[in-house]
């Protein structure tokens, strides 16, 4: 058993060390630039360490206050990290123009930060409240473990998305907070598994926190403005959401498996192993499921960003797709290029050919492949209005739909008399019909099947698909022009060859005629 004096000494040393750090920052020339959240975090750290040192020697008031200050300390460090991320994106801060709407705007970063604040407050409340209501050690340790996991997730995002020139100043801050949250994660996860605190871990924790002060001091000296030029990407938010969900899932499964083992008697260990194996298998199945990933992307785009799409990545992906493969692959690439942003994995394409639109190719297409006449009402609507037809909306006879500029348009009047061709109407999985216009010429259209996850077809999706369709149509137009040029060159080569053949035939006819005349003249004179 660890001595109470060691615990008192360790936490007292931590309180003194952080008090010296706070004094150092207060006396600096750039003290006005120190983040108010950093000041609050240091004060909470000092109060927590002092209270823990008093609790180590049995002070009743300190024992009662320790859970509250524990939660407040973790909360303020997490809010400090979120505050570092809630700045102008790096691409804009450096003056680099953004491509389309790809980099997140200030509003998007602020919205993500607000949600991070909500999560941090909820976890801190759960950490403190579970102890106040005497929910049991398992719930208390689980809440604090989740708190440490979320702190590590926030730290990872801050460091990974910091500008390259700022990472040298941030690495000691990252190391200090990595050690702080990492120690808590190891200690509380161990306590959660055994429903009791390891006294050795608890005693060493004070000394470990004291050792973090030099790292924070070096980071403060390198970065007096406490500014890292953070740029939060959509991939980072998506991966963070996946990591948080997976971490929470594994914690719940581990806690459940432990309780099954504890109360399961003779079969407890077997049941725990089976539960953990089944849970890991289920998590792996979810991780490789395209539908689940699509649903998570929709959730992240809907709740964390003002715009649903990362336009820069979408444009680069389409450009790479169209630049790869052979010209014969272009129709299939058109289906894939339009389907990727909306998570549609199948569809078909019709291209104009000799006065009608002929089925060209399909990806997992199970509908009919009949040609469509150029005078069909659908072709007129696509050509004249460049309207993306929502087949489900048409079937449901919806009255209004959003226009590309955000205004409402009367779909009933726009599509009055529209009858879908049998090849599309009888295909139950058809979802969107996207026109491919080159200038004012409709060179074809793409039918997309329903996506893996339910999608909201709004003005943003409509505008993105129109822009992508224009790009694809230009590639198809260039390919057709090249085919016509190649055909013309072939005809030219044929004409030249024909001229030589005709010339040789004329020479041969002349020679044969001369032989005939000479034969009549000299046939008696061999």
Tell me what pLDDT residue 439 has.
83
**pLDDT at position 294 over 60:** no
Question: Phi and psi dihedrals of 88, rounded to 5?
Answer: -65, 140
Confidence of residue 343 (pLDDT cuts 50, 70, 90): confident
Q: Give the mean pLDDT of 48-69.
A: 87
Tell me what pLDDT residue 62 has.
84
Q: Do domains 4-93+101-232 and 326-477 have the same CATH topology?
A: no
Q: Give the mean pLDDT of 439-465.
A: 85
Separation of alpha carbons 190 and 459, rounded Å = 50
Q: How is the chain split into domains, by residue range? A: 4-93+101-232, 237-307, 326-477
Name the pTM for this structure: 0.44
> What count of Cα atoms within 13 Å lies in the side-chain half-sphere of residue 115?
13
Average pLDDT along the chain: 74
Distances (CA, A) of 48 to 42, 196, 208, 305: 10, 21, 14, 36
29 token code pair? 């020339």
Tell me what pLDDT residue 218 has.
83
If residue 433 lies in a helix (H) or strand (E), which one and from where to where? strand 430-438
Tell me what pLDDT residue 262 has.
57
More confident residue, 434 or 247: 434
Q: What is the number of other CB atoms lying within 10 angstroms of the CB of residue 31?
A: 12
Confidence of residue 107 (pLDDT cuts 50, 70, 90): very low
DSSP letter at 34 equals: S
Per-residue pLDDT tens over the stretch 213-246:
988 888 877 776 555 544 445 555 555 555 555 5
Q: Give the mean pLDDT of 203-214.
A: 89
If residue 270 lies in a helix (H) or strand (E), which one and from where to where? helix 268-287
Lowest mean pLDDT among 6-20, 417-431, 482-496: 482-496
245 token code pair? 């969900």
Separation of alpha carbons 253 and 247, rounded Å = 10
Full DSSP string of 358-386: EEEEEES--S----EETTSHHHHHHHHH-
Tell me what pLDDT residue 246 has.
57
Q: CA angle, 37 as apex, 36 and 40 as ends, to 5°?
A: 90
Q: Give the mean pLDDT of 377-388.
A: 87
Separation of alpha carbons 391 and 382, rounded Å = 13
Coil/strand/helix, residue 431: strand
> Buried b / exposed e across 264-297, counting CB within 10 Å, b at 16+?
eeeebeeebeebbeebeeeeeebeeeeeebbebb
C-beta separation of 407 from 462 below 8 A: no
C-beta separation of 479 from 327 below 8 A: yes
28 token code pair? 């600096």
Distances (CA, A) of 484 to 265, 334, 442, 487, 489: 80, 21, 18, 5, 9
**pLDDT at position 5 over 50:** yes
Confidence of residue 253 (pLDDT cuts 50, 70, 90): low
416 token code pair? 């009055």
Tell me what pLDDT residue 239 has.
53
**Tell me: domain 4-93+101-232, CATH 1.20.1740, correct?**
no
Tell me what pLDDT residue 399 has.
44
Separation of alpha carbons 348 and 332, rounded Å = 8
Tell me what pLDDT residue 435 has.
94
Question: Phi and psi dihedrals of 352, rounded to 5?
Answer: -65, 135
> What count of Cα atoms within 13 Å lies in the side-chain half-sphere of residue 363?
22
Closest by Cα among 222, 85, 99 to 167: 222
Confidence of residue 187 (pLDDT cuts 50, 70, 90): confident
214 token code pair? 């030099």
The CATH number of 326-477, from 3.30.450.40, 3.40.640.10, 2.90.10.10, 3.10.290.10, is 3.30.450.40
**pLDDT at position 136 over 70:** no
Lowest mean pLDDT among 139-148, 194-203, 236-245: 236-245
Coil/strand/helix, residue 344: coil
Confidence of residue 287 (pLDDT cuts 50, 70, 90): low
Tell me what pLDDT residue 28 has.
67
If residue 456 lies in a helix (H) or strand (E), which one and from where to where? none
C-beta separation of 296 from 237 below 8 A: no
Question: Phi and psi dihedrals of 21, rounded to 5?
Answer: -65, -45
Per-residue pLDDT tens over the stretch 304-341:
444 567 778 888 888 888 888 777 888 999 999 999 88
Q: Give the mean pLDDT of 396-422.
A: 54
Lowest mean pLDDT among 109-118, 174-183, 202-211: 109-118
More confident residue, 453 or 293: 453
Give the length of the chain: 526
**pLDDT at position 413 over 80:** no
Separation of alpha carbons 331 and 388, rounded Å = 18
C-beta separation of 225 from 93 below 8 A: no
132 token code pair? 């106040």
Tell me what pLDDT residue 447 has.
94
Confidence of residue 403 (pLDDT cuts 50, 70, 90): very low
C-beta separation of 153 from 203 below 8 A: no
More confident residue, 350 or 119: 350
Closest by Cα among 373, 359, 382 to 442: 382
Tell me what pLDDT residue 104 has.
42
């Amino acid at each position: 058993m660890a001595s109470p004096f060691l615990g008192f000494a360790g936490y007292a040393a931590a309180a003194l060390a952080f008090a010296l750090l706070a004094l150092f920052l207060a006396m600096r020339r750039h003290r006005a630039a120190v983040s108010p959240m950093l000041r609050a975090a240091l004060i909470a750290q000092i109060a927590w360490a002092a209270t823990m040192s008093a609790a180590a020697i049995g002070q009743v008031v300190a024992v009662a206050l320790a859970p509250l200050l524990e939660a407040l300390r973790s909360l303020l460090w997490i809010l400090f990290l979120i505050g570092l991320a809630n700045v102008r994106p790096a691409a804009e801060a450096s003056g680099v123009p953004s491509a389309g709407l790809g980099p997140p705007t200030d509003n998007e970063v602020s919205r993500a930060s607000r949600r991070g604040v909500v999560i941090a407050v909820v976890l801190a409340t759960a950490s403190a409240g579970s102890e106040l209501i005497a929910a049991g050690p398992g719930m208390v340790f689980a809440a604090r473990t989740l708190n440490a996991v979320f702190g590590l997730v926030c730290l990872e995002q801050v460091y990974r998305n910091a500008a390259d020139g700022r990472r040298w100043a941030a690495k000691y801050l990252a190391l200090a907070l990595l050690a702080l949250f990492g120690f808590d994660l190891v200690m509380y996860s161990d306590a959660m598994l055994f429903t009791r605190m390891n006294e050795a871990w608890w005693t060493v924790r004070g000394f470990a926190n004291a050792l973090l002060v030099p790292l924070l001091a070096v980071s403060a000296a390198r970065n007096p403005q406490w500014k890292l030029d953070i740029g939060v990407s959509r991939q980072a938010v998506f991966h963070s959401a996946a990591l948080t969900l997976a971490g929470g899932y594994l914690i719940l499964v581990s806690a459940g498996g432990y309780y099954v083992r504890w109360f399961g008697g003779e079969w407890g260990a077997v049941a725990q192993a089976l539960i953990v194996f089944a849970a890991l298998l289920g998590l792996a199945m979810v991780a490789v499921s395209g539908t689940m990933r699509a649903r998570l992307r929709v959730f992240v785009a809907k709740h964390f960003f003002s715009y649903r799409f990362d336009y820069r990545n979408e444009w680069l992906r389409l450009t790479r797709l169209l630049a790869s493969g052979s010209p014969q692959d272009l129709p299939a690439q058109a289906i894939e290029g339009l389907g990727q942003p909306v998570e549609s994995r199948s569809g078909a394409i019709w291209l104009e050919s000799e006065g009608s639109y002929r089925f060209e190719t399909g990806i997992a297409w199970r509908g009919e492949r009949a040609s469509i006449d150029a005078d069909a009402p659908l072709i007129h609507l696509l050509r004249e209005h460049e309207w993306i037809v929502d087949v489900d909306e048409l079937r449901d006879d919806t009255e209004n739909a959003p226009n590309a500029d955000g205004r409402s348009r009367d779909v009933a009047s726009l599509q009055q008399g529209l009858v879908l061709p049998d090849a599309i109407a009888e295909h139950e999985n058809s979802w969107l019909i996207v026109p491919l216009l080159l200038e004012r010429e409709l060179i074809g259209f793409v039918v997309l099947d329903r996506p893996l996850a339910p999608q909201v077809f709004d003005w943003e999706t409509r505008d993105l698909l129109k822009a992508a369709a224009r790009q694809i149509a230009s590639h198809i137009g260039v390919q057709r022009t090249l085919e016509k040029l190649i055909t013309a060159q072939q005809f030219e080569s044929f004409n030249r060859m024909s001229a030589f053949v005709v010339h040789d035939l004329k020479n041969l006819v002349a020679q044969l005629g001369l032989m005939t005349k000479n034969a009549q003249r000299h046939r008696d004179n061999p």
